[in-house]
Amino acid sequence: MPASLAASPVRPRGGLLAATLPASIFLVLALLPVVTSVTGSTYLISLGSRVMIFAIAAVALDLLVGYAALISFGHAAFIGLGAYAVGILSAYGFTDALVSLPVALAVSAAYAFLTGLVCLRTKGVYFIMITLAFGQMAFFTASSLAPFGGDDGLTIAARNTLAGFPVLRNERAFYYIVFFCLLSTYLFCRALVASRFGRVVRGAKENPVRVSTLGFDVYRFQLATYVIAGALAGLSGFLLANAAEFVSPAYMSWQRSGELIVMVLLGGLASLDGAVIGTAAYLLTEEWLSAFTENWKVIFGPVLVLIVLFARGGLLGLTSALARRFMRA
Amino acid sequence: MPEPMLRLQKLRKSFGALVVTDDLTLDVMPRELHAVIGPNGAGKTTLINQISGLIAPDSGTVLFSGRDITGMPVDARARLGLARSFQVSSVLPRFSALENVALAVQSRSGSSFRFLGRAAEEAALNGPAMAALGDVGLAERAHVPAGKLAHGEKRALELAIALAMEPKVLLLDEPMAGTGREETARLIAVLRRLKGRFSVVLVEHDMTAVFALADRISVLLYGRILASGVAAAVRADPRVVAAYLGDEME
């Protein structure tokens, strides 16, 4: 056996694009407020924050859909739980992020754990249906919370403080806090999928029976993934409630869960970068098209169908295919 | 007489009206290579599935080293040291050959609830994995995605995965299925080298392989053991010749 073979580990191939793409995404995001400081408008900054907040949830969903083949149709529920944690706590006077953030994470993780115990006993379409059902359960529960606004939602008096300082109330500082959260989420998930844990989860995606005959209790690994993804969506919800200074049951609706799946598919599954790109593409297109017409989904729908039909691997797959063609030419 | 490594007692399994395992009792001794042969539909794969835990028997018990594992889930059995290969190659197609084996190594080397650190670069996993690939002659193909390997190479990879688990009992479900003459010879050589390290239950249609490797042979027919004993005795048994070997030996 050649010694060189024995020592060399498997490296994911993907070339230049795989390495430079995430770096450029985060560079653009980091520089956006610098650019907008010239114009003086905060519109782009709050739009950018919104994109990054949903990107956190989308990256978490990509862990489930892309890496574990667990198509969760109730992901928005965890965003909503994180958001409601902020809203309800602030209604009772707990307005510091040092309280509301851990509670938001714990509540969404707990809901993921309890529902995951049941959901992960099912497979395929049944998994989709049961996650949808638990998502709707959270939605209807929030809608019926009369003391906290019920259907109408709940206005938050002011954004959370951070250790007593009102840093989240500065639009630019808030942007960078969201940026930091997205970057940490991304790096954590990147490490997770390459870890021992991630390898078992990825293996179970390909062949769960095989992986269980190797001695792994696939259910436990999937449950842990589900809880991690739920907690990260809770983080997204915490930020969303602070960004909007408002929480509503609509955050948990099944339409929102569907949009998240679309964002991940649009960008390209199982890449994490794709989830960020897909979220940006979805929300920016929405923003742009809705300026022309209220019925922007009539245009967006067919575009999406075309992408799914002709660009397997989403926008990311499309870009790398074009890049390869360009390099060869 | 030493305690059997694997003991099946009055195992019974039926699918509807079809009885696929019929009051089956079988002992596999430590370090013994025990071949199970029989015509298609005799219930060989169902038997392997009941031992590895993918199918639960209707009644009867499976003892592993004297311990009742009948109700134990697949993954727990694997952790005890019960490894298996599949009749239809069941490797992880998008993992490289090395990563397929490294995952098997990982299952017996510490916790896999580790969220940080690149698994692909762990020497503690890649070293034994490369050794197992070397054992089956796949070292050169370590970095090829398993889905792109040739059929015979996938069979060898199945074997490497099972070996990497350092099993106490290895269940091989037709490891030679669909391989060419040369590859069969190579797999036989590999198994002959490994023989005696642990107990093996070998289900195989290839009689050359069976007679070259087996210490004892059990002949399965309609879910029952028709005959069981050392190779020469089974070969000479007129019932076996009539039921099964007659066609195969021509």
**A270-292 pLDDT per residue, tens:** 999 999 999 999 999 999 988 88
CB-based contact, B122 to chain A, within 8 Å: yes
CB-based contact, A206 to chain B, within 8 Å: yes
In the structure, what pLDDT confidence band is assigned to residue A3 with cuts at 50, 70 and 90?
very low
Judging contacts by C-beta atoms under 8 Å, the chain A residues touching residue B102 are 199
A6 within a domain of the structure (yes/no): no
CB-based contact, A197 to chain B, within 8 Å: yes
Predicted local confidence at residue A16, as pLDDT: 63
Judging contacts by C-beta atoms under 8 Å, the chain B residues touching residue A1 are 130, 134, 139
Q: Of B6, B13, B24, B4, which Cα lies nearest the Cα of B62?
A: B6
Q: Answer yes or no: do B113 and A197 touch at CB < 8 A.
A: yes
CA distance B35 to B240: 14
Predicted local confidence at residue B32, as pLDDT: 95
Mean model confidence pLDDT for chain A: 91
Place of tokens 């300082």: A165
Q: Report pLDDT digits (tens) over B101-134.
A: 999 999 988 889 999 999 999 999 999 999 999 9
Predicted local confidence at residue A125, as pLDDT: 94
In the structure, what pLDDT confidence band is assigned to residue A17 with cuts at 50, 70 and 90?
low
In the structure, what pLDDT confidence band is assigned to residue A156 with cuts at 50, 70 and 90?
very high
Angle in degrees, CA A177, A38, A240, rounded to 5: 25
Q: Answer yes or no: do B73 and A210 touch at CB < 8 A.
A: no
A3-20 mean pLDDT: 51
Predicted local confidence at residue A326, as pLDDT: 81
Element housing B99 (H / E) = helix B97-106
Question: Chain B window 37-56: which residues touch A at a Cβ cutoff of 8 Å?
Answer: 52, 54
Q: Answer yes or no: do A198 and B79 touch at CB < 8 A.
A: no
Q: Which of B108, B112, B154 to mutate to test the interface with A (most CBs of A within 10 A)?
A: B112
Q: How far is CA A251 from CA A47, A66, A155, A227, B99, in A?
A: 17, 23, 14, 19, 40
Can you count the helices (H) and strands (E) in chain B? 10, 10
B179-191 mean pLDDT: 90
Judging contacts by C-beta atoms under 8 Å, the chain A residues touching residue B96 are 10
Q: Of A239, A275, A246, A284, which Cα lies nearest the Cα of A44?
A: A284
CATH hierarchy code of domain B1-81+167-250:
3.40.50.300
Q: Answer yes or no: do A5 and B114 touch at CB < 8 A.
A: no
Facing B92 at nearest CB: one of A7, A210, A218: A210
Judging contacts by C-beta atoms under 8 Å, the chain B residues touching residue A12 are 120
CB-based contact, B90 to chain A, within 8 Å: yes
Residue A299: pLDDT over 60: yes
Predicted local confidence at residue A63, as pLDDT: 97
CB-based contact, B114 to chain A, within 8 Å: yes
Residue A10: pLDDT over 70: no
A268 within a domain of the structure (yes/no): no
Between chain A and chain B, the number of residue pairs with CB atoms below 8 A apart is 123
Q: Are A85 and A238 in contact (CB under 8 A)?
A: yes
Question: Chain A window 174-193: which residues touch B at a Cβ cutoff of 8 Å?
Answer: 191-192
Q: Answer yes or no: do A214 and B139 touch at CB < 8 A.
A: no
Q: Answer yes or no: do A10 and B96 touch at CB < 8 A.
A: yes
A18 within a domain of the structure (yes/no): no
Judging contacts by C-beta atoms under 8 Å, the chain B residues touching residue A208 are none
Judging contacts by C-beta atoms under 8 Å, the chain B residues touching residue A203 are 92, 95, 103
Pair of tokens at residue A36: 């907008």
Domain boundaries, chain B: 1-81+167-250, 93-166
Give the sheet arrangement for strand B6-15, strand by strand: B18-28, B6-15, B59-64, B67-68
Q: How many angstroms separate the CA of residue A298 from the nearest CA in chain B?
A: 38
Q: Answer yes or no: do A195 and B119 touch at CB < 8 A.
A: yes
A214 within a domain of the structure (yes/no): yes
Using DSSP, state whether B68 is helix, strand or coil. Answer: strand
B63-91 mean pLDDT: 94
Q: Answer yes or no: do A203 and B96 touch at CB < 8 A.
A: no
pTM summary value:
0.93
Judging contacts by C-beta atoms under 8 Å, the chain A residues touching residue B118 are 9, 191, 194-195
* Percent of chain B clearing pLDDT 90 (strictly above): 77
More confident residue, B239 or A59: A59
Q: Which of B50, B64, B116 to mutate to test the interface with A (most CBs of A within 10 A)?
A: B116
Q: Answer yes or no: do B75 and A216 touch at CB < 8 A.
A: yes
Predicted local confidence at residue B1, as pLDDT: 66
Residue B247: pLDDT over 60: no
Question: What residue of B is the nearest CA neighbor of A224?
Answer: B113
Residue A40: pLDDT over 80: no
CB-based contact, B108 to chain A, within 8 Å: yes
Predicted local confidence at residue A4, as pLDDT: 39
In the structure, what pLDDT confidence band is assigned to residue B10 with cuts at 50, 70 and 90?
very high
Q: Which of A206, A209, A213, A227 to mutate to test the interface with B (most CBs of B within 10 A)?
A: A213
Q: Report pLDDT digits (tens) over A224-270.
A: 999 999 999 999 999 999 999 999 999 999 999 999 999 999 999 99
CB-based contact, A3 to chain B, within 8 Å: no
CB-based contact, B171 to chain A, within 8 Å: no
Q: Are B26 and B202 in contact (CB under 8 A)?
A: no
B84-95 mean pLDDT: 92
Predicted local confidence at residue A329, as pLDDT: 61
Q: Tally Cβ neighbours within 10 Å of residue A293.
A: 10
Lowest average pLDDT, out of A97-101, B91-95, B163-167, B235-239, goes to B235-239
Report the domain count for chain A: 1
CA distance A242 to B74: 47
Angle in degrees, CA A225, A226, A230, rounded to 5: 115
Q: Answer yes or no: do A5 and B107 touch at CB < 8 A.
A: no
Question: What pairs with residue B83 in β-bridges?
Answer: B170
H/E/C letters for each residue in chain A? Answer: CCHHHHHCCCCCCCHHHHHHHHHHHHHHHHHHHHHHHHHCCCHHHHHHHHHHHHHHHHHHHHHHHHHHCCCCCCHHHHHHHHHHHHHHHHHCCCCEHHHHHHHHHHHHHHHHHHHHHHHCCCCHHHHHHHHHHHHHHHHHHHHCCHHHCHHHCEECCCCCEECCECHHHCHHHHHHHHHHHHHHHHHHHHHHHHCHHHHHHHHHHHCHHHHHHCCCCHHHHHHHHHHHHHHHHHHHHHHHHHHHCEECHHHHCHHHHHHHHHHHHHHCCCCCHHHHHHHHHHHHHHHHHHHHCCCHHHHHHHHHHHHHHHCCCHHHHHHHHHHHHHHHC
Residue numbers of the domain that contains A104: 42-253
A246 within a domain of the structure (yes/no): yes
CA distance B138 to B115: 30
A187 within a domain of the structure (yes/no): yes
- Interface pTM, i.e. ipTM: 0.92
A258 within a domain of the structure (yes/no): no
Facing A203 at nearest CB: one of B95, B115, B130: B95
A194-213 mean pLDDT: 96
Question: What residue of A is the nearest CA neighbor of B158?
Answer: A210
A73 within a domain of the structure (yes/no): yes
More confident residue, A318 or A208: A208
